Amino acid sequence: MALLDKFASTLSIREKLGAAGQDPTSVVIDELISPTEGMVRGRYTILAGTNNYLGLTFDPACVAAGKKAIDELGTGTTGSRMANGSFAAHTALERDLADFFQLPYGMVFSTGYAANLGMLSALVKPGDTVLLDADCHASLYDGCQMSGANLFRFRHNDLSSLEKRLQRLGDEAKNCLLITEGMYSVLGDTAPLAGIVELKNRYGALLLVDEAHSLGVYGENGCGVAEAEGVSGEVDFLVGTFSKSLGAMGGFCVSPHPELELIRYVSRPFIFTASSSPSIIASTREALRQLRARPELRETLWRNANRLYQGLEALGLPLGPQVSPVVAVRLSRDQEPLSRWNRLLNAGVYTNLMIPPASPDGFSYFRCSVSAAHTEEQLEKIISAFASL
């Protein structure tokens, strides 16, 4: 097979994705009106698939912080932190994050994907063992693959499946890294972190939790599911992103282990990537301040999540297992997903379409992510659009 022939199957998939009208993987938002409204193909559209949980992308203080940083520090850093130096704001953000999570060490990466790749490829090596929740994000799988460690999966959120594997490992369990997420991104369900922490302590393993979707969403202070479950001090490595609740772009890890400071020297995705631009760092720092100072944002988010979940549930639609800011509507196997998703878009509602194998259980889903910035009227329009399907 010639080098480029492999793309024939991709072309065929792309043609199928676009056959019903708009290809859901190629939506262009021509104009943004607010964190939850835009213009798509000339039509006013409510954005219900942004992961903009706190709605901070247009927050005046965050926007002003980003503009000021551009004025004072320029548009980019033009290099990696190891080779070209860090800006003071990079290290300040690392201190902000450590302070927020009440942990001694913090490290910033250029994207959430790079954070997982950078942490895992440095933390575990060939000969080490990883036990990973089967529904974990691709970035966690890719990081494990890059590390060359032995990689075993346990059934999603299944403590007995995890313990069975820890038992099988015997003494090797002490040299094992467990990986879960806080809130899972497709169905919005959360990990039983208290139980996972109990197992990791009993077997002497280490635990990495990806709180990408749960930062700013769960916990008394918005630190995530580990905080909500009362085990935040027990997580060895907590990773997350700036591209959801914090409305920017980037990733991070915080940890009680001083070895996090040494990961800077061995993590290739950290060493060989340009550092985040000043405006991103500045708006992220401000968004973190907003998250801490305005718990009402989280209250509004949850009120909106409850309204959408209950509204769609009242229509008799099969939803994800628990109320959360990710509301996933499951399609039956005989419901064609692409044409239905196009009908939603044409009704002025943009959701994320998850189809196998990207969905976790073989079903297709319309994934809605709720924002604190959604108005009651917008939520009613989303529910009405689903009712008209």
Partner 1 sequence: MNTRFDEIENRIKDLLASYLESSGLPELEQHGAISGNTNLVSDFTLDSFQVMEFLMEMEESFDIMIDMNNLSNAHTVNELAKVVDALLEK
**Long-range pairs for 71-76: beta carbons < 8 A, 24 or more residues apart:** 72/278, 73/278, 74/278, 75/277, 75/278, 75/279, 76/274, 76/277, 76/278
Rule CB under 8 A: which residues touch partner 1? 134, 141, 144-145, 148-153, 155, 165, 168-169, 333, 356-357, 359-362
Nearer to partner 1, 6 or 333 (CB): 333
Nearer to partner 1, 165 or 285 (CB): 165
Nearer to partner 1, 148 or 233 (CB): 148
Q: What is the nearest approach in angstroms of partner 1 to the Cβ of residue 25? A: 16
Nearer to partner 1, 131 or 226 (CB): 131
Q: What is the nearest approach in angstroms of partner 1 to the Cβ of residue 55? A: 32
Q: What is the nearest approach in angstroms of partner 1 to the Cβ of residue 150? A: 5
Tokens 């499951």 belong to which residue?
330
Decide: helix, strand or coil at residue 201. Answer: helix
Residue 181's CB: how many other CB atoms inside 10 A?
Answer: 27
Q: What is the nearest approach in angstroms of partner 1 to the Cβ of residue 218? A: 27
Tokens 């085990």 belong to which residue?
231
Nearer to partner 1, 117 or 312 (CB): 117
Nearer to partner 1, 153 or 200 (CB): 153
Q: What is the nearest approach in angstroms of partner 1 to the Cβ of residue 15? A: 17
First to last CA, the chain: 44
Question: Which of these, 129, 69, 51, 6, lies nearest to 283 by C-alpha position?
Answer: 69
Over the range 228-252, which residues count as b (16 or more CB within 10 Å of their CB) and which as e?
bbebbebbbbbbbbbbbbbbbbbbb
In whole angstroms, how far apart are CA 75 and each of 2, 48, 108, 282?
A: 42, 30, 18, 12
Q: What is the dihedral of CA 311, 314, 316, 318, to 10 degrees?
A: 50
Using an 8 Å Cβ cutoff, are 367 and 344 in contact? no
Nearer to partner 1, 60 or 126 (CB): 126
Q: What is the nearest approach in angstroms of partner 1 to the Cβ of residue 124? A: 11
Q: Side by side, which strands form the sheet with 129-133?
A: 105-109, 251-255, 237-241, 206-210, 176-181, 129-133, 150-154
Q: What is the nearest approach in angstroms of partner 1 to the Cβ of residue 270? A: 22
